[in-house]
Amino acid sequence: MANFPATLLNFLRQAERVTALTGAGVSQESGLRTFRDAQTGLWSQYKPEDLASPEAFARAPKLVWDWYAMRREKVRAVEPNPGHFALAEMGHRVPRFTLITQNVDGLHRKAFQTLKVSETFRVWKESPIIELHGNIQRVRCSECGMVADAWEENDDVPRCAGCGGMLRPDVVWFGESLPRSALEAAVEAARGCQVFLSIGTSGLVQPAAALAFAAHNKGAVVVEVNLEPTPLTEKADFFLQGKSGEVLPGLVKATW
């Protein structure tokens, strides 16, 4: 996409506060499959919905642990792509930028760290990145709730060093509520921004999907970046069809 509407570029330049919501599409160009893509190999007999749930963990904890271990390895082997870096760059340019992600891969954090965006935010109280669905590199005790980013592997599901309970990934599973403080911060960022970007998300999973509509209802300009139309597209003020790793760097370059 070479040309962006001049009105969109002006909205972005003038915005005091910009909020972006991302989904699995943003990490697709780093080599990670989107959530609704078919699984491959050993795992092709399972739907993610059948592995990412408290019921699945209760029924077959080792199976769920192994699936996350495989995903964790994949995440460790990949790097942020130009879409992640363009969003980090936006973090430098916009006076107040919030990035809400449904991804658990930590690639936004990595891009922000690489471009040292955190320096820009040191005067703020809140973090610029809200990981709505958690982070796959952390674990949480299924009994006492203790969160850790290091643990002892064994042949079975690793146990909590404190209480001996089974460790699980520190992510939100189907049927679970989102962490309250993260959701409240996300809703506030959606309702308080002048421009809201929805990028690489199918908009099918609540409550994340409602954030763009909340921003729209509060008068924000809504911009969608996706390979294909979604339930949001009709409401969006601008629909930029294409790969986020190509559209976002172009948009940042054209704007600033």
**Residues classed as catalytic:** 133
Instruction: Return the residue matching tokens 């008068």.
Output: 219
Stretch that binds ligand OAD, among 33-41, 71-79, 116-124, 180-188 (CB under 6 A): 33-41
Q: Rule CB under 6 A: is residue 80 a binding residue for ligand OAD? A: no
Residue whose C-alpha is closest to residue 7's, from 221, 241, 209: 221
Q: Least separation, in Å, of the C-beta of 75 and ligand OAD?
A: 13
Of 20-28, 122-130, 151-159, 189-197: span binding ligand OAD (CB under 6 A): 20-28
Our finding on whether 52 is near ligand OAD (CB under 6 A) is yes
Q: Using CA atoms, how far apart are residues 87 and 101, in angstroms rounded to an integer?
A: 11
Within positions 82 to 121, which residues make up the interface with ligand OAD, using CB under 6 A? 102
User: Cβ(19)–Cβ(223) under 8 Å?
Assistant: no
Q: What's the closest the beta carbon of residue 161 comes to ligand OAD, in angstroms?
A: 26
Contacts of ligand OAD in 127-156 (CB under 6 A): 133
Which of the 8 DSSP states describes residue 98?
E
**In terms of Cα–Cα distance, which of 62, 255, 100, 106 is closest to 189?**
100
Q: Could you give the string, one character per residue 191-230, with x where binding to ligand OAD holds by CB under 6 A and - elsewhere?
A: ---------xxx-xx-------------------xxxx-x
Q: What does the DSSP assignment read for 24-54? A: THHHHTTTPPPTTSPP-GGGGGS-HHHHSSH
* Residue 128: C-alpha distances to residues 26, 161, 207 (Å): 17, 31, 19
Closest residue to ligand OAD, judged by C-beta, is 25
- Give contact residues for ligand OAD (rule: CB under 6 A): 23-25, 28-29, 34-36, 52, 102, 133, 172, 200-202, 204-205, 225-228, 230, 243-245
